[in-house]
Amino acid sequence: MSVVQLNFINKSNETKNNEIVIFQKNESSPNGPAVAWRVIQNCGIGDHHPFTFSSVFSVSAVDSYGNYTPRLSASMGQAFEMVLAKSGDVLRYKGAASSSNEVELENNLSTGAISAEIYRDGKLCASQRNLAPSSKAAFQFNSNIYIGAAAQIVEGQTIDAAVMSQINTEINLFGISSADIVMTGGGSGAQAKPLTFSLENIQQT
């Protein structure tokens, strides 16, 4: 298991109380909607917010009756399936995925669509809705995160396409064990500058 220790630091001059949203793209469907993995709120000038980015994943599913399964630990290369057991709909480990770079979740119910969800560090990272019987969701992530300032973003919910298009700072965490993510810029009036995000105090693995 690899863990990157990160520390967001607000060194900007921004007086607006923006939310800082961090998300990843599911490389198995990179053009699909993204989920707000982390949302940092009320982090004032000079404040900092530590968090981790690790390879600890878990999966769960929601059936058409609104039942949520327990989360199962997952690693890249593993496959899971939703089946009808004697007790009702259950999620279980199936075996190896078709790709060693993906986590797969298959709907093997005879009727009813499900939602497939994958979590990183206990927070929803991606989901696929309306997964019909005999179809599967595939999740694949690289070491890149996207970060930006926005408003009215809710952690764990899908990010609006218009908001996503405005968040274009991509940070590659490959080979890093710890780093600060520093936000600078901001301000008001003629002195205002765009908000920028950069890595500082990088420690390599």
Mean of pLDDT values over 17-43: 92
Identity of the residue numbered 71: R
Mean of pLDDT values over 147-165: 92
Residue 98 has pLDDT above 80, yes or no: yes
How many domains, in total, are found in the chain? 2
Residue 31 has pLDDT above 80, yes or no: no
Shared domain for 134 and 79, answered yes or no, is: yes
Q: 139, 166, 192 — which closes off a domain?
A: 139
pLDDT of residue 6: 98
Shared domain for 19 and 48, answered yes or no, is: yes
Would you say 174 and 143 are in contact if contact means Cβ atoms under 8 Å apart?
A: yes
Mean of pLDDT values over 23-50: 93
Q: Which helix (H) or strand (E) holds 66?
A: none
- Residue scoring higher pLDDT (164 or 135): 135
Shared domain for 83 and 133, answered yes or no, is: yes
Q: What percent of the chain has pLDDT over 90?
A: 84
pTM for this entry: 0.93
Mean pLDDT of the residues in the chain: 94
Structural domain boundaries, residue 68: 57-139
- Residue scoring higher pLDDT (161 or 121): 121
Shared domain for 113 and 166, answered yes or no, is: no
d(CA 197, CA 185): 9
Domain harbouring 22, CATH code: 2.60.40
- pLDDT tens per residue, range 39-76: 999 999 999 999 999 998 999 999 999 999 999 999 99
Shared domain for 79 and 61, answered yes or no, is: yes
Shared domain for 131 and 171, answered yes or no, is: no
d(CA 28, CA 103): 10
Shared domain for 126 and 63, answered yes or no, is: yes
Shared domain for 123 and 165, answered yes or no, is: no
Mean of pLDDT values over 77-95: 97
Shared domain for 87 and 76, answered yes or no, is: yes
Q: 139, 159, 188 — which closes off a domain?
A: 139
Q: 139, 172, 194 — which closes off a domain?
A: 139
Q: Which helix (H) or strand (E) holds 161?
A: helix 161-164
Task: Band the pLDDT of 1: cuts 50, 70, 90.
Answer: low
Shared domain for 148 and 47, answered yes or no, is: yes
- pLDDT tens per residue, range 99-113: 999 999 999 999 999
**Token pair recorded at residue 139:** 């999740």
- pLDDT tens per residue, range 166-181: 898 999 999 999 999 9
pLDDT of residue 134: 97
Shared domain for 118 and 167, answered yes or no, is: no
**Token pair recorded at residue 111:** 């009727």
